[in-house]
Chain A
Amino acid sequence: MNRTVHKTLNLETAAIYLAWISMISWLLMSGKYQIFIRQSFWALMIWAIAILTLFFFSIIRRVSIHNNPVATSATFIRLGTVIVPIFYILMAQEKSLGSYTFEMRSTMHGLQKSQSIREAQGTSAETSNAETRLTAQDFQNLQYAVKGATPLPSDGRVTILQIMENIDNWKGKTVIAEGMVYRDDKVPAGHIVVYRFLMTCCVADASPLSMLVETDNTDQFKEDQWVRVEGVLSLRKAEGLDTPHIKADRITPINPPEDNYLYPSFY
């Protein structure tokens, strides 16, 4: 009888390994892993499948060996914990980060506030950041700055990241950029925010990159709707900070791109 119980435990564990192997294989083959981690990390998925498979066979091998531990309800509960992420992955695989995360992770409002506090205290950001000797004003336009300017593509199509990287180079020129719409009462009247997330490794580290878009038709865009914006790029003050600004000639609703995220070009 014990032997039957032992086999059940090992088969249960093997089933969990199999579930994870199937889940990751499916994420890899469908390309849906990109919803969670960086596109170029496909090798990590193969690596995980390979080791999980080895472990799976080692568990199967144990089914025929004596001295297995006795399975109890506690064991099954422990094993149940391990499948919780599978349910979350299945639930999240059709979704993407949106304005909720933009609000949670955007630091622009905080930067403006902290600058105001410093000014009220009589200490400039420059003093507080003595070792960097840079001001919070520089944050938005220099955040992902790369030395050296790249020529504007002939069709003007750029990403928000490219705008951030070369804003001085492209100021005053007509650009075409895509992103999601964000609206709230902090956004200046007659404007919407168009944003995308910059991902280094995974969704957990994704940070929003945003620009202000001036338009007469702010009401016609829904939050998190994907749009293509065409207009002249400039720098404007928003909440006291220099922010990329596009005076839109045209805003067109578009389908979400295949890959929602932008990636640092140097990594």
Chain B
Amino acid sequence: MSQDLLKPDNGVSPPAGTSSNGIQLKTIIELAFIIFALAPIIHFRNNPAITAFSLSFSAIVLEALPFLLLGSLIGGLIEVYIPNDRLGAWFGKGKKRTVFLAAGIGLIFPVCECAIVPIIKRLIDKGVPLSSAIAFLLGGPIVNPIVFGSTIVAYRMILDVAVIRLVVGYLIAVFIGLVAGHLLEKRGGLLKDVIITEELNCQCSSCHEKGSIDHKPRFADALTHGASDFMDMFRYLIFGAFVAAMIQNIVKRDAFIILSVNPGISILLMMTLAAIMSLCSEADAFVASSFQFSLPLSSQLAFMVLGPMFDLKLLFMSLGIFRKRAVILIYGMTILVVFIIMMLFQILMGWAFS
């Protein structure tokens, strides 16, 4: 980790939309995306591949949209109704034990991966330590009663799979939270422009009177913050859904199965599939269970553990909050740890049944 993690990739310069220094690279990429995305509609609308892609892309966006909206609304409410630094005081900056709490908070506050990103943004803004926020980011969508229940149902009331998924997910969230949080808190993991944009765009009384103790938070202000977060995150969701749908309709699932003869490769491929498919954590167990008689349990668990913690839409959305290097660190570690744990699980199961 070099010191230049501190240097904002684009945080020093004013955010797009307020810049007077010409068009930024980010804007050019977005323009290219719009042209690239709309061209197939005009030229290949009757092509079966484009039809399949359109359906998948639209479906991912439509299914994720209500959860992203809810997450943005909750984030706005946190911003306005929870006094500054209150959460920081609750979570106790520097107290590592709160990471253990944060990784399991999804059990009483179930939230999926689409909703969690805007909430995380607001929690960090409110002083929640980065380690706890990362633990919640990774643990929230998996250590969650709805996900636990859907896994039990998908595996036909076999409790073991759901328990292993929940426990492994929790432990990984705690581990990454502690390690990545420790590394990033020293260097600053947040994108600066998130904060700058917020300061420039916000007109609510709650933020303008941040120093004041007497201000009366207003629901309308919470909505303003929520709407702002939603617009920020929605673009990233769209990029992620677009890439996920594109790969889903280019790569045959058969190819994954054929290459999955070796358990190690099988785990890697199922992790890749989880990242590509970008499924909702409440639904992914049903897809994983369809592989239960063809792939080792370690591969299915790799799919179910990694999917809620990392997928393409989550990757793009996280880029809206964290610096690129922070994103690489958090998700790089997550991928590595999931792979190592699943390989160990595979070896242990091999011994147990040999």
Tell whether, in the assembled complex, residue A114 and residue B294 are in contact, meaning their CB atoms are under 8 Å apart: yes
Q: Does B54 contact A (CB under 8 A)?
A: yes
Tell whether, in the assembled complex, residue B257 and residue A51 are in contact, meaning their CB atoms are under 8 Å apart: no
Find chain B residues with CB under 8 A from A45 CB. 66
Which residues B261-309 have CB closer than 8 A to chain A? 261, 263, 277-280, 282-284, 286-287, 290-298
Number of A residues near B (Cβ < 8 Å) is 95
Shortest CB distance A82–B (Å): 6
Find chain A residues with CB under 8 A from B292 CB. 132, 134
Q: A201-B279, A204-B248 are in contact. List 12 more A-B contacts (CB 8 A).
A: A51-B226, A55-B226, A74-B24, A101-B249, A107-B254, A130-B296, A131-B298, A146-B156, A202-B62, A203-B58, A204-B277, A267-B153
Tell whether, in the assembled complex, residue B261 and residue A131 are in contact, meaning their CB atoms are under 8 Å apart: no
Query: A65–B59 Cα gap in the complex (Å)?
Result: 36
A-B contact pairs, 10 of them (CB 8 A): A48-B69, A51-B69, A82-B235, A100-B48, A104-B248, A131-B296, A132-B293, A202-B60, A204-B56, A207-B290
Find chain A residues with CB under 8 A from B223 CB. 54-55, 57-58
Query: A139–B144 Cα gap in the complex (Å)?
Result: 29
Stretch of A32-40, A173-181, A213-221, A226-234 on the interface side: A32-40
Find chain A residues with CB under 8 A from B20 CB. 72
Main secondary structure of the interface of B (DSSP, over half): helix
Tell whether, in the assembled complex, residue B258 and residue A117 are in contact, meaning their CB atoms are under 8 Å apart: yes
Interface of A toward B, CB cutoff 8 Å = 13, 17, 24, 27, 33, 35-37, 41, 44-45, 47-48, 51-52, 54-55, 57-59, 61-62, 65-75, 77-82, 84-85, 87-89, 91-92, 95-101, 103-111, 113-114, 117-118, 121, 125, 128-136, 138-139, 142-147, 200-205, 207, 264, 266-267
Shortest CB distance A121–B (Å): 7
Shortest CB distance A112–B (Å): 9
Query: A117–B292 Cα gap in the complex (Å)?
Result: 18
Find chain A residues with CB under 8 A from B278 CB. 204
Q: Closest chain A residue to B33 by CB distance? A: A81
Query: A118–B55 Cα gap in the complex (Å)?
Result: 36
Selected from A52, A59, A67, A91, the residue in CB contact (under 8 A) with B54 is A91
